[in-house]
Amino acid sequence: MGQRNARLCSGDLVEVRTADEIFQTLDAAGALDHLPFMPEMLEFCGQRFRVSRRALTLCIYEPGTPLGFNTDDVVTLEGVRCSGAAHDGCQKSCLIFWREAWLRKVEHTAVQSHIDLQSIEQLRGRLTVTTGPGSYYCQASELKRATHSLSTRERIEGYLAGLRAGNFSVAQMARSTAIWLFWRIRRRFLGLYPRGKSGPTPIESLNLQPGEWVEVKSVQSIMETLNEHGHNRGLGFSLDMRLLCGRRLRVRARLEKIIVDGTGKMRQLRNTVSLEGSTCGCAFLGFGMDGCSRCELTYWREIWLRRLDGPSDPLVSQVERNASPGLTSGQLDS
């Protein structure tokens, strides 16, 4: 095992350890405590990043209790997402989880580690990518094994731990709690929102491409595309997504295939895109879930969007270009 760090917190400068050091921490499948070190992570060996947050609570694309890692030694790094290159081009773009054993805390003045390409290739040969035909092995596929359902007490303790670690401020914590309480009361008295009518949901294809500008349709227009569970062909339009209705945003990418959480199966998507700045916040899901560490991309059906003319729109404000990160991702049915 590599030498463990002192506990890392948001804002700490870290360096990804060398391939040789990481190799010593992994089991035969290329994982540590059931969390895989993926081939897509090799390009970051020797590079330096700021810690984004300690990974204390997280959710997956299915109903259930919020999850926590079995060991409290996992962090995320600012802007470091999975390319999916080693997993047949999966477009999920997951924020990568890092065990502290794979990182070292450094100062700006410290000499950067030498990158040994031969050691990187040796480690690449050790890492598992598939477990059978059509079944992939990655952090998303193994989340259920690396985590456990949090009790109410654990959720509260994790939320307070996130505050101490700098994951969020007191003001953000208060806002998250208020959002959760509001929607819990509203749902009890008024039922699920937003939702549509029973029966098949409509389809629209815009063939949107990365870089194009779109406007999110009104809540009322989107509700007309949803079923009684708030879904359009299995993809949920969540509470936080309604905050972007009427906003103008740029298409980040088309989404055509993603690995489903906890299964390792690749799912094909149609007429679906991600938008720049639109990521999951999860505050409405339950107390403490605004501290969710996954920051997943939000999935948008093209029928919820309206294409704008031209490569950009001068009316878009800087605030709209940098949409709030507190936006939750729609949930895919199993």
**Strand pairing class (13-16; 48-54):** antiparallel
Tell me what the mean pLDDT of segment 273-287 comes to.
Answer: 76
Q: What is the tens place of the pLDDT at every residue in 230-254?
A: 999 999 898 888 889 999 999 999 9
Name the nearest CA neighbour of 244 among 300, 296, 287. 300
Beta carbons within 8 Å of 309's beta carbon, 6+ residues apart: none
Contact predicate 209/307, CB 8 Å: no
Of 57-61, 229-233, 258-262, 279-283, the least confident: 279-283
Residue 176: in which H helix or E strand, if any?
helix 170-190
Tell me what the mean pLDDT of segment 48-67 comes to.
Answer: 83
Contact predicate 45/38, CB 8 Å: no
Residue that the structure tokens 């081939």 belong to: 39
User: pTM for the complete prediction?
Assistant: 0.83
Residue 5's pLDDT is: 52
Contact predicate 128/52, CB 8 Å: no
DSSP-based three-state secondary structure for 51? strand
Beta carbons within 8 Å of 109's beta carbon, 6+ residues apart: none
DSSP tag of 180: H
Contact predicate 103/8, CB 8 Å: yes
Cα 182 to Cα 167: distance, rounded to the nearest angstrom? 23
